[in-house]
Amino acid sequence: MQFKRLLQVEAVLTRQVLVLNRCWQAVNVVGVKRAFSLLVQGHADVIHQEEGDFQLYDFDQWVDSSNLLGDGGPEYLHTINHLIRLPKVIILKVFDRLPIKEVKFHRNNIYDRDKHRCQYCGNQFIENELNLDHVIPRHHGGRTSWENVVTSCIRCNSKKADRLPHEAGMRLIRKPAKPKWRPFVSVAENKEKNSSWDYFLNPLKLS
């Protein structure tokens, strides 16, 4: 019995929790232990979705609500006095605890921002069928920046050549901009990623 309980605790502690900053942007993924430590210290609140609405709980409120609803399933941490529901998403109350990583300006991140879609014809391509295009060509004073470099397929790229889009009779499907944020890689690659994270990881898709 003791052993079984121990295994259960171990399994529970490997669960992962999505961390949002104060602007509700995903900034990290942490283990349950770290999440509880942030909650206990009052550095974070739990965000829990109930019937479509997001409710915020501080640690005490979360413990209370857990005891109220607790059936002690795998979604719970058993302590001596309490059953505590495992949070899936927490939100930081303090700034600068987990700074947002700047998105590096380089080829793959531009492809990612544009979802591997040529920004002229709108079709999706694999990486080696893509190129980067200066919307305003360099000899027109166009800069190598998030706002002026887009993903382009090789065909559109050669059609446009060294011209401005309107000179080539082409139009961008979207105005290029610097990505505002990007979840850490571990978020994107996390196998345990669960549906309660979706809202925060794909805000564009859902808004």
Residues that bind Zn ion (CB under 5 A): 118, 120-121, 153, 156
Residue 123 Cβ vs Zn ion, minimum distance, rounded to whole Å? 6
Please answer whether residues 190 and 29 qualify as being in contact, where contact means their C-beta atoms are separated by less than 8 angstroms. Answer: yes
In this structure, are residues 161 and 54 in contact, taking their beta carbons and an 8 Å threshold? no
- 10 Å Cβ neighbour count for 111? 19
Give the closest residue to 147 by CA, choosing from 183, 105, 119, 175: 175
Instruction: State in angstroms the smallest separation of the CB of 152 from Zn ion.
Output: 6
Give the span between the Cα atoms of 56 and 8, in whole angstroms: 27
Asked if residue 142 lies in contact with residue 158, where contact means CB atoms within 8 angstroms, the answer is: no
Nearest-approach distance from CB 144 to Zn ion, in angstroms:
20
How are beta strands 16-20 and 26-31 bridged, if at all? antiparallel
Shortest gap between Cβ of 109 and Zn ion (angstroms)?
A: 19
Question: Nearer Cβ to Zn ion, position 33 or 159?
Answer: 159
> For 166-170, which contacts have Cβ atoms below 8 Å and span 24 or more sequence positions?
170/120
- In the complex, what is the shortest distance from the CB of residue 154 to Zn ion, in angstroms, rounded to a whole number? 8
- Closer residue to Zn ion, CB minimum distance, 92 or 156: 156
153 versus 187: smaller Cβ distance to Zn ion: 153
Minimum Å distance from CB 175 to Zn ion?
A: 17
Rounded Cα–Cα distance for residues 134 and 146 (Å) = 10
How far is 29 from 187, CA to CA, in rounded Å? 6
Which residues, listed in sequence order, are joined to residue 48 by a DSSP beta bridge? 55
Kindly tell me which of 57 and 125 has the beta carbon lying closer to Zn ion. 125
CB closer to Zn ion, 162 vs 189:
162
Q: For Zn ion, which is the closer residue by CB, 66 or 131?
A: 131
